[in-house]
Structure 1
C-alpha cells in the first residue's frame, strides 16, 4: 500500500530577493499547496459531418496557491518580498517556484512567477489562514509514483 505525507513536500520561491521555503515545516494550513493550470490544453471542433479536429493550446500558464497559517513566519518573508518587488518593474515577475515530493518523485517547476496580490488579512476570533496566490507564466509538471 502507498503512503502520502505532506512532510515529504519541499517547496520554495526563488527570486530577486532571495529564496523563501514554504514546504513542510513552514506552518502550512490543511489546504497545503495547490497548482492549477489556467487553460484547457485541447479544443475539439466538430464539423457539420461529424468529423473532429483537435487544436492544442500551447499555454502553460496557471497559478500556484500556498496556504499558510496566519501565525506562519513565512508570511512576513513573503510580504517583504512582495513589497520590495512592487517598487520596480525590473524585479516584478522574475521569480520561480519549485515543488518536490521526495517520496513520489513529483517535480513541479514554475517560472515567470509574480505575486497575484497581497493576500487578504483577516483578524478574527481564530487566526485562520493566509492564501498566497502566484501567477505563473510557465508551469511544468512531472508526476512520480508512490511505492
Structure 2
C-alpha cells in the first residue's frame, strides 16, 4: 500500500481488564496520530463475543485511547488531517490478522452513520491501493454484503482474505 502508515505497537490484554468480561480480544495494537491538532494514541481491537470459538463474527474497533478511563473512545474526532494514514494503518493490521487467520471475517462500522460515511469516502480514495490479499465488502441493509464500490452508500464493511 502506497499510503503511509503509522508504526504499530502490540498491546497486552492486561490493558483491557473490563473488556474481557464480555468479549474475547483476538488482536490489540496501538499507534499514534500525529498532526495539526496534536498527538493522539489510537487503539485498535479485533474481538468476538465472549466464549465464541469461531472466526466469522469478528468486530474491528478503533479510536482514541482514554488513559484515565482505560477505554477506547470511538467518538472523538482528532481532525489531524491523517484519516487516510489511520485507515491504511488499520487495514495493514487487519491484513496481518487475516494472513494468520484466513478464514476470519471482520465486521467494521463507524460509531455513527456520518462516521461510517467518512470511512467509506476515505476507503474509496485508496481502494485501488488495497493489497490484493484483502477483500472489502460493503453492507447494503436491504441486500447484504457486496464488493466495495465507489458511489454506493454502505451501512458497514466486512474485511476478509481473498
Tell me: higher relative CO, structure 1 or 2? Use CA pairs within 8 A at least 6 residues apart.
1
Question: Which structure has greater helix proportion?
Answer: 2
Greater strand proportion: 1
| TM-score, length of structure 2 as denominator length | 0.29
Q: Given the two structures, how large is their TM-score scaled by the length of structure 1?
A: 0.31
Query: Computing the radius of gyration over CA atoms, which structure comes out larger, 1 or 2?
Result: 1
